[in-house]
């Protein structure tokens, strides 16, 4: 049975701190967390004292957006009602989605000029003319 979603900060036993939209599920005899688009948020301070936030995907080498974690791997977790943190998280997700939709699909005609021999001949011809 999956419970209602909520925003949460999760501290894993590995030391990682994750912010995510979370659902809790009881599977057989264990509890699992279903994380939607987990991110790591770091506070950044400048030399002038102004603080900002750096938001990055929790796992950078995958395009998946749903992850399952065994609750046994969690050190602590806290439900978040921090509007600023939730807004930062949602803005990051919108930007990621926007950048994914704006990417041009690659095809064989894009950027292909010639094989090595043809390119060499073309460059030599240009060089001789100039």
pLDDT digits (tens, 9 = 90+) for 3-62: 789 999 999 999 999 999 999 998 888 999 999 999 998 888 888 877 888 899 999 898
- Looking at the DSSP assignment, which residues form a beta bridge with residue 34? 23, 68
* pLDDT number for residue 70: 93
| pLDDT digits 0-9 by tens, 48-89 | 877 888 899 999 898 889 999 999 999 999 999 999 899 999
- Domains belonging to the chain, first-starting first, are 6-129 (2.30.30.100)
The SS3 of residue 124 is: helix
Task: Dihedral sign for Cα 6, 11, 14, 15, please.
Answer: positive
Greater model confidence, 1 or 85: 85
Bridge pairing between strands 6-12 and 17-27: antiparallel
| pLDDT digits 0-9 by tens, 82-109 | 998 999 999 999 988 887 776 666 666 6
Q: Is the pLDDT of residue 110 over 70?
A: no
Alpha-carbon gap, residue 44 to 95, rounded angstroms: 20
Instruction: Report the predicted TM-score, pTM, of the whole model to 2 decimal places.
Output: 0.70
């Amino acid at each position: 049975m999956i419970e209602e979603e909520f925003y949460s900060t999760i501290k894993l036993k590995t030391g990682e701190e994750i912010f995510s939209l979370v659902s809790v599920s009881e599977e057989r005899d264990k509890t699992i967390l279903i994380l939607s688009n987990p991110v790591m948020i770091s506070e950044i301070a400048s030399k002038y004292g102004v603080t900002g936030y750096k938001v990055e995907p929790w796992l950078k080498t995958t395009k998946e957006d749903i992850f399952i974690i065994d609750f046994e791997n969690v050190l602590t977790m806290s439900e978040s009602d921090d509007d600023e943190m939730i807004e930062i998280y949602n803005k990051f997700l919108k930007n990621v989605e926007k950048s994914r939709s704006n990417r041009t699909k690659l095809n064989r005609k894009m950027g292909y000029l010639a094989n090595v021999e043809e390119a060499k001949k073309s460059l030599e011809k240009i060089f001789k003319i100039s």
